[in-house]
Amino acid sequence: MEESDVVGFLRDHQGQASLNDISTGLGVPKYGPNSAYALLQSLRSKGVVDRRGEMWVLLAPEAVISRVVAPPQEPAGERKPEVAPEVESVMKAMAKTLAEAMRGARAPSDEWELATRPMKTEIERKEEKLSALVLRPDAAPEAKKPLIGLSTGTFIDQLFLMPEGETLNGVPICGQFAITGLPGAGKSILVEEIAVRVAADGRKVLYATAEDTWKSVTPRFDLQSRLKQKADILGLDWSKIMENLYVLDTVLYPDLRDWSTFAETYRYVVEKERIELAIIDSVTVLEAYRGALKYRVMELARYNQLQGVTGLYVNQRSAERWDSYDMAGGIGLAHNLDGTLIVDYGRIYWEDQKVDLEANRGEFVRIARVLDCRMCNFERRRIRIDITPEGFIRALEPIPKPPNSP
């Protein structure tokens, strides 16, 4: 695209046009290198055009324009390669088709335009459609559902509370929760135990793994072997687990790392088997690029809410600072979920850590902590935990504390 194209467009439109009209009409980006805006600024510096409000106006007479906006010249001594007539004819036809398509294509609007446009439309004629999207409260008896917990059989059941402070004995049913912390903190150990306990209890569980294969043909002590070992130690019925546990193995089947394939397979299992608990270990299975990760998690969380699925999303801490919201996908990911559970480790530094854990500054500890939960009350303090030799996470103190404890 050349400056002369912009000048020609302005001539054809009575000497003036908006940036959006120029961008759309010439089929070029509005902003960026070799964009409509860049070409207009270059012409403005030469005195050919100027801006009048939203319009760009052609100012210079033809003699000035022809002098400062010359058509592109071929370099001296450079010869065009000879092209067979039939090839040239095809190329011209393709160029014409492409030019027509570009002229007909609508250039993407900038964010400001996208934000302001629907605030200026006529809404009276859409009243019937718009009113159907507005909800009103139900009558009192139907307005409040009971707060129910989905039992995981682990210590985290005691971290979620009723309004009066009594334990919910589970995570809020249909809630969507991030489980975040450093590698090696025990996040996967925790959700593996949750998976076998919930499946053995007769509930349908979907487990998506991105960090270990479910069943290896090698001697590797794979994910299935570890879950079977946990079930044996806990005295759980493996046949019940076989009946109720479904696995998406993105290590064995790399096609599942494509978001479309993963989402469709996930929906297929959830809807066909009526899944009640979904575990994503870890969320990197949804999107390798962390900037887009929150959008994948948001879509999955919305879907789970509508399908009645409780979701646990294992995530990695993304910064050196422990005991915080720092996680892959940023704090925006946490905002898209119902709550955040930290399973982490580090050295005591802050005063509130010392009080919660009754530990000295510099002491190494492993902790579990609910940072937030929009669905219900929760235990605010940090809980000291450890990983047992059998491969389970256990709280090292009563939850909640006995009434007479400090």
156 and 23, same structural domain? no
49 and 194, same structural domain? no
Q: Which residues pair with 51 in a beta bridge?
A: 56
Domain's final residue, options 17, 38, 72: 72
171 and 29, same structural domain? no
Q: How buried is residue 334: exposed, middle or buried, by Cβ count under 10 Å (0-12/13-18/19+)?
A: buried
333 and 208, same structural domain? yes
Q: Which residues pair with 365 in a beta bridge?
A: 346
pLDDT value at residue 274 = 97
380 and 244, same structural domain? yes
Q: Considering the domain boundaries, does residue 100 fall inside one?
A: no
Taking the mean position of all CA atoms in its chain, how far away is CA 98? 35
314 and 233, same structural domain? yes
322 and 179, same structural domain? yes
Evaluate the CA torsion angle 159, 163, 168, 171 in order and state its sign: negative
Give residue-wise pLDDT tens across range 72-105. Answer: 555 555 555 565 666 677 777 777 676 666 655 5
Q: Whole-angstrom Cα distance, residue 87 to residue 92?
A: 9
Give residue-wise pLDDT tens across range 191-205. Answer: 999 999 999 999 999
Contact between residue 189 and residue 352 where contact means Cβ atoms under 8 Å apart: no
180 and 36, same structural domain? no
Q: Considering the domain boundaries, does residue 138 fall inside one?
A: no
158 and 271, same structural domain? yes
- Residue pLDDT tens, the chain, 406 long: 788 888 888 888 888 898 888 888 888 887 777 788 888 888 888 888 888 877 888 887 776 677 666 555 555 555 555 656 666 777 777 776 766 666 555 555 566 777 888 888 888 888 888 999 999 999 888 888 999 999 999 999 999 999 999 999 999 999 999 999 988 999 999 999 999 999 999 999 999 998 899 999 999 999 999 999 999 999 999 999 999 999 999 999 989 988 889 999 999 999 999 999 999 998 877 765 555 777 888 999 999 999 999 999 998 876 667 777 777 666 767 788 999 999 999 999 888 888 888 899 999 999 999 999 999 999 999 999 999 999 999 999 888 665 555 4
pLDDT value at residue 150 = 97
Task: State pTM to two decimals.
Answer: 0.70
Domain's final residue, options 18, 53, 72: 72
Q: Which residues pair with 277 in a beta bridge?
A: 205, 310
Q: Considering the domain boundaries, does residue 368 fall inside one?
A: yes
pLDDT value at residue 303 = 96
Q: Whole-angstrom Cα distance, residue 380 to residue 368?
A: 11
Q: Considering the domain boundaries, does residue 80 fall inside one?
A: no
pLDDT value at residue 259 = 87
pLDDT value at residue 316 = 83
Q: Considering the domain boundaries, does residue 357 fall inside one?
A: yes
Domain's final residue, options 25, 56, 72: 72
63 and 149, same structural domain? no
Q: Round the CA-based radius of gyration of the chain to a whole number and report it.
A: 31
Q: Which of 331, 295, 326 is nearest to 180 (CA)?
A: 326
CATH number where 239 lies: 3.40.50.300
151 and 35, same structural domain? no
Q: Considering the domain boundaries, does residue 348 fall inside one?
A: yes
Contact between residue 209 and residue 223 where contact means Cβ atoms under 8 Å apart: yes
pLDDT value at residue 223 = 96
pLDDT value at residue 329 = 62
CATH number where 25 lies: 1.10.10.10
How many distinct structural domains can be found in the chain?
Answer: 2
63 and 203, same structural domain? no
Could you tell me the residue range of the domain that residue 55 belongs to?
1-72
Q: Considering the domain boundaries, does residue 263 fall inside one?
A: yes
Q: Considering the domain boundaries, does residue 113 fall inside one?
A: no
Q: Whole-angstrom Cα distance, residue 312 to residue 152?
A: 11
